[in-house]
């Protein structure tokens, strides 16, 4: 397997970026849902710090992934389809990347405008850039939640499309992202 993408396949780096991002998104989402049902207190605060740390890690990974994607471009579609479907697919992927950047950015702004420090896995505290601003904190918490809610159906359709390609079209779209020939 190549490290870099080719015109016909994804390389190891693209595959790893994809699946590590997917795993982080699932884990961060679950942490967020668990926190929603928790009462305020030390346990919720600890879980919030883990959620924020993984969110920052995802943001860094996705920024590297974006640079990688811009440098690599996209491989050709695995199977010939209508040109409009290829355009929709490309736009869908860009929408996912933009959301996966916007969600942690909105979470960072919400946290930075809040009262608590932003810790990164207990290794260091990020500098307070914004300072306390309750209204900004609330606005960006709402934006963070709305973007997350919007991401769920986009990811569900993305997964459904991958399965459609695999089981209906019987093309190599899903296999390429799994690194299978």
Residue 172's pLDDT band (cuts 50, 70, 90)? confident
Which of 19-23, 115-119, 131-135 has the lowest average pLDDT? 115-119
CATH code of the domain containing 149: 1.20.950.20
What does the block give as tokens for 18? 């994809």
Distances (CA, A) of 65 to 16, 52, 87, 123: 10, 19, 21, 24
Cβ neighbours of residue 87 under 8 Å, at least 6 residues apart? Answer: none
- Within a domain: 124: yes
- Within a domain: 38: yes
Strands (E), the chain: 119-120, 124-125
Domain that holds residue 159: 12-178
- Within a domain: 168: yes
pTM of the complete model: 0.88
What is the number of residues in the chain? Answer: 181
């Amino acid at each position: 397997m190549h490290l870099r993408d080719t015109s016909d396949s994804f390389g190891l780096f693209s595959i790893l970026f994809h699946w590590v991002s997917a795993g982080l998104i699932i884990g961060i989402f679950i942490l967020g849902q668990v926190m929603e049902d928790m009462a305020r207190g030390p346990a919720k605060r600890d879980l919030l710090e883990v959620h924020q740390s993984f969110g920052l890690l995802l943001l860094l990974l996705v920024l590297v992934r974006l640079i990688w994607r811009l440098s690599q471009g996209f491989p050709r579609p695995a199977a010939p389809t209508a040109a409009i479907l290829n355009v929709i697919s490309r736009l869908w992927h860009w929408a996912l990347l933009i959301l996966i950047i916007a969600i942690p950015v909105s979470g960072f702004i919400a946290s930075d405008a809040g009262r608590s420090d932003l810790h990164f896995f207990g290794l260091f505290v990020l500098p307070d850039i914004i300072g306390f601003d309750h209204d900004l904190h609330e606005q960006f918490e709402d934006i963070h939640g709305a973007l997350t809610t919007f991401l769920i159906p986009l990811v569900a359709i993305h997964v459904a499309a991958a399965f459609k390609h695999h089981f209906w079209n019987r093309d190599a779209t899903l296999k390429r992202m799994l690194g299978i020939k």
